[in-house]
C-alpha cells in the first residue's frame, strides 16, 4: 500500500514556477520561454513565471521570433506575469532606450547652452517650467538608431503596474508590454528607490488585502 501511494504521488501532476526580481526577473522570463519552446519539462508539465522589476529582455520582432515556435512562444508569454512599482526605471532600460535617452539629454544640453547659468539651474531644479519650444524640439527630434540593437519588451501577457495614490495607499493598473516599451526611460527622484523589493512587497501586500 505504501508503494502504491508513492507511485500515485509520483504520477500526480506538478509544475514549475519561476520567480525573480530585477535581472533575476529577466532571467526567469527568458527561462520561461526556453522551457516552453524547447519542451524541457515535457508536454504535461505547466510552467509559469512571475517577474518583479524585470527589464525588457526579449525582441518580438525580426529573426529572433522567426526562429521560435509561435504557438509555444505565445503560451510562454501568456503564462508570464510581471510587475512594475511606482517610478522604477529598470523595466524601461535597454540598449536602445538608454541610447535614445542619452541623445535627448544631449539635445537638451545643447538647447540650453545659451541660457544664463542661474536660469539653467532654476530650470533643472524644477523651479521654472520647461519652455514649450524645448519640449517640442525633444519630442519631435529624430530618434537615433543603434546598430544591432533590437526593440526589447518584457515578454509577459500581463504587466501589473502598482503606484501610490493621492491618499497614500496603493492602486494598480494593467499594461501591455508594447505600451511599456514605448514609454522610454522614466526619470524621477524615485527611479532607483522604487526598484527595491520593499516597494513591491508593500504595494502588492496592501492590494492583496
pLDDT for the residue 7: 60
Kindly state the DSSP code that residue 153 receives in the 8-state scheme. Answer: B
At 130 the three-state DSSP class reads coil
Using CA atoms, how far residue 171 sits from 86, 164, 179, in Å, is 10, 6, 19
Using DSSP, how many helices (H) and how many strands (E) does the chain show?
Answer: 9, 5
pLDDT for 9-36, tens place per residue?
556 678 999 999 999 999 999 999 999 9
Interval 180-191 mean pLDDT: 87
The candidate with the shortest Cα–Cα distance to 58, out of 180, 152, 177, is 152
> Strands of 80-85's sheet, edge to edge?
16-21, 47-52, 80-85, 158-164, 170-175
Amino acid at each position: 500500500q505504501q508503494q502504491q501511494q508513492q507511485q500515485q504521488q509520483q504520477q500526480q501532476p506538478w509544475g514549475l514556477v519561476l520567480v525573480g526580481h530585477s535581472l533575476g526577473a529577466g532571467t526567469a522570463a527568458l527561462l520561461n520561454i526556453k522551457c516552453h519552446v524547447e519542451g524541457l519539462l515535457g508536454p504535461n508539465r505547466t510552467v509559469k513565471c512571475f517577474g518583479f522589476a524585470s527589464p525588457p529582455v526579449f525582441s518580438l520582432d525580426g529573426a529572433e521570433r522567426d526562429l521560435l515556435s509561435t504557438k509555444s512562444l505565445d503560451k510562454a508569454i501568456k503564462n508570464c506575469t510581471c510587475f512594475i512599482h511606482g517610478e522604477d526605471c529598470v523595466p524601461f532600460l535597454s540598449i536602445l532606450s538608454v541610447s535614445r535617452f542619452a541623445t535627448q539629454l544631449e539635445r537638451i544640453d545643447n538647447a540650453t547652452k545659451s541660457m544664463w547659468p542661474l536660469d539653467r539651474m532654476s530650470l533643472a531644479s524644477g523651479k521654472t517650467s520647461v519652455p514649450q519650444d524645448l519640449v517640442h524640439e525633444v519630442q519631435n527630434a529624430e530618434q537615433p538608431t543603434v546598430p544591432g540593437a533590437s526593440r526589447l519588451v518584457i515578454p509577459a501577457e500581463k504587466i501589473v503596474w502598482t503606484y501610490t495614490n493621492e491618499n497614500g495607499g496603493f492602486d494598480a493598473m494593467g499594461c501591455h508590454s508594447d505600451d511599456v516599451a514605448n514609454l522610454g526611460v522614466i526619470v524621477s527622484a524615485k527611479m532607483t528607490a522604487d526598484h527595491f523589493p520593499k516597494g513591491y512587497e508593500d504595494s502588492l501586500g496592501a492590494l492583496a488585502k
